[in-house]
Amino acid sequence: MGYLGKKTLLSAFAAVTMTFAAAEAKAQDFINILTGGTSGVYYPMGVALEKIYSGIPNARPSVQATKASIENINLINSGRGELGFTLGDSLRDAWEGNEEAGFKKKLENISTLAAIYPNYVQIVASKESGIKTLADLKGKRLSVGAPKSGTELNAKTILHAAGLSYDDLGKVEYLPFAESVELMKNRQLDATLQSSGLGVASLRDLANAVEINVVEVPADIIEKIGAPYLVNTIPANTYSGQDKDVTTASVINYLIVRPDMDEELVYQMTKGLFENLDQLAAAHSAAKMIKLDKNTIVSPTPIHPGAMRYYKEKGI
């Protein structure tokens, strides 16, 4: 065979190889799970979902630590993720294009997989700071979460409803949960506001290191804000040294996906979530509050057809 014949044969072989490679790559369903900081609740739940989704044929799940709600919404909307955790008020504001919340236009490339468990707005102060009420935050040093995060949005909302602003505080820090706790341990902060599931690792760590006060968000302030904020309770002994129930606000969390994702894949993801809740609860106790009921499909954004198929099968 001459040189040109060999060259033609090699080219044909390369083309066939590339075709098979492309088909194989196409068969892989990448599931990039967008979570939050590693000391929060989203991250360990995301790791649990990664293990669950590894059982889906041809799925290639992975976990990405992020700045949580708002970053996750933007990543999903721009096609740079498959599954994201987010707070309900952040999701609503993105869908409606709320400029005050940082969304200059409506983000409509988003679907809901499920409403999951509630986040609790947890304001925890060092006992030595003397902070016992929201009014006591005046002139004090407070961390409000990562900048433009769902937690920071919660902080602004709660403070505003209580007649406070950042200007009333002595100092505002925009830090993730774990970093906020480290500053409190070193007496560089008086309090931290963390929007998370109950028993979050960062606050357990703080309560084990210093004496704390868990600050109440009164029911009348929460009712003044209205939906999606609800009156809820942080049960006594959730954290070391917290000997009484504390009233606070809660906001439901969601799992969101891209509308263009394959229906069968999202069906399998939804099924995997609800049929392995024990694995999620083992990863974090907040998952014990995930229920499959009519509230699962109440969302600011449309439910993905793949998820809805699973819910119809279950009679929801």
What is the tens place of the pLDDT at every residue in 158-167? 999 999 999 9
Q: How confident is the model over 218-276, as pLDDT tens digits?
A: 999 999 999 899 999 999 999 999 999 999 999 999 999 999 999 999 999 999 999 99
The mean pLDDT of 285-298, rounded to a whole number, is: 95
Structural domain includes residue 21: no
Structural domain includes residue 43: yes
pTM for the model:
0.84
Are 195 and 287 members of one domain?
no
For residue 256, which of 44, 48, 54, 70 has the smallest C-alpha distance?
70
Structural domain includes residue 283: yes
Are 132 and 101 members of one domain?
no
pLDDT at 1: 56
Among residues 251, 269, 300, which one ends one of the domains?
Answer: 251
Q: How confident is the model over 78-87, as pLDDT tens digits?
A: 999 999 999 9
Q: Residue 75 above 60 pLDDT?
A: yes
Are 69 and 214 members of one domain?
no
Residues with Cβ within 8 Å of 182's Cβ and at least 6 positions away in sequence, in order, are none
- The pLDDT confidence band at residue 2, using thresholds 50, 70 and 90, is low
- What amino acid is encoded at 85 in this protein? F
The mean pLDDT of 108-128, rounded to a whole number, is: 97
Q: Are strands 83-87 and 191-196 parallel, antiparallel or unpaired?
A: unpaired
Are 123 and 247 members of one domain?
yes
Q: Residue 22 above 50 pLDDT?
A: no
For residue 155, which of 229, 245, 208, 255 has the smallest C-alpha distance?
229
Alpha carbons 191 and 196: distance in angstroms, whole number: 15
What domain range is 179 assigned to? 119-251
Q: How confident is the model over 234-250, as pLDDT tens digits?
A: 999 999 999 999 999 99
Q: How many domains does the chain have?
A: 2
Q: What percent of the chain has pLDDT over 90?
A: 85
Residue with more model confidence, 137 or 21? 137
Are 140 and 94 members of one domain?
no
Are 168 and 98 members of one domain?
no
Q: Residue 17 above 70 pLDDT?
A: no
pLDDT at 39: 87
Structural domain includes residue 10: no
Are 146 and 261 members of one domain?
no
Among residues 251, 267, 299, which one ends one of the domains?
Answer: 251
Are 106 and 124 members of one domain?
no
Are 213 and 146 members of one domain?
yes
Structural domain includes residue 15: no
Instruction: Tell the burial category of 230 from Cβ atoms under 10 Å away from its Cβ (0-12, 13-18, 19+).
Output: middle
The CATH number of residue 202's host domain is 3.40.190.10
pLDDT at 11: 55
Q: Residue 18 above 50 pLDDT?
A: no
Alpha carbons 223 and 211: distance in angstroms, whole number: 30
Are 44 and 139 members of one domain?
no
Structural domain includes residue 195: yes
Structural domain includes residue 95: yes
Are 159 and 55 members of one domain?
no
Q: Residue 92 above 80 pLDDT?
A: yes
Are 180 and 292 members of one domain?
no
Neighbours of 185 (CB within 10 A): 14
Structural domain includes residue 260: yes
CB contact at 8 A, 37 and 65: yes
